[in-house]
Amino acid sequence: MKITYNAPFTLTFALVATIIRVLGDDVTKGFFAVGNTMDVSNPIDYFRLFSHAIGHANWDHLFGNFSLILIIGPILEEKYGTKLLLLMSFVTALITGILNVTFMSNGLYGASGIVFMMILLASFTNMKAKVIPLTFILVLVLYIGREVWNSFGENHVSQFAHIFGGLCGSIFGFFIGNLTDKGSTINTTPTKTNTPSF
């Protein structure tokens, strides 16, 4: 029996986020948090548009996000492959970062948008063409509905990132699921576990 690096993206994501948290608040806020404004002449601000998903406010914040990512991520990585899950996570982080700069008044950091993307995407695991899984509807109502409700309160949590992360997961699930059912060349073979491949 041996230990394998079974989910390269998921495990590397968790490792990098942990290292950033160890480096402290100054590094996190300087490079891994997006504000409510953007200096278009500052290259770092473009980096922050997606790097905010790696930064976390504290250990509880990080543990809360990655306790879910480490459960759901390997399942999705086996189904969609490392590169595609990386791309979907990057797009989700970039979209939430751009929306935060454009519309929100607070800063943003953390992987919660990606968590919600994965939760909604996971509900499409056994999706067939022209069929909407009941599990997707229930997850949508429970998770997104709760975030919409909580958005009316003041709890210092960015519900908008959760909501748009979930919407990204829904779009990815429908789009990629339909392509797969039509015989697309999307690689859905399990990720090899001997060496990480990015």
Chain segment 68-92, per-residue pLDDT in tens: 999 999 999 999 999 999 999 999 9
SS3 call for 107: coil
Chain segment 129-163, per-residue pLDDT in tens: 567 778 778 877 887 777 777 666 665 456 777 88
Chain segment 184-195, per-residue pLDDT in tens: 444 444 444 443
Q: How confident is the model at residue 95 (pLDDT cuts 50, 70, 90)?
A: very high
Domain boundaries along the sequence of the chain: 8-181
Chain segment 116-132, per-residue pLDDT in tens: 999 989 887 766 656 77
Cβ contact 10:69 at 8 Å: yes
- pTM comes to 0.81
Residues 6+ apart with CB under 8 A from 99: 160, 164
Q: What percent of the chain has pLDDT over 90?
A: 52
CA atoms within 13 A on the CB side of 42: 12
Q: What is the CATH number of domain 8-181?
A: 1.20.1540.10
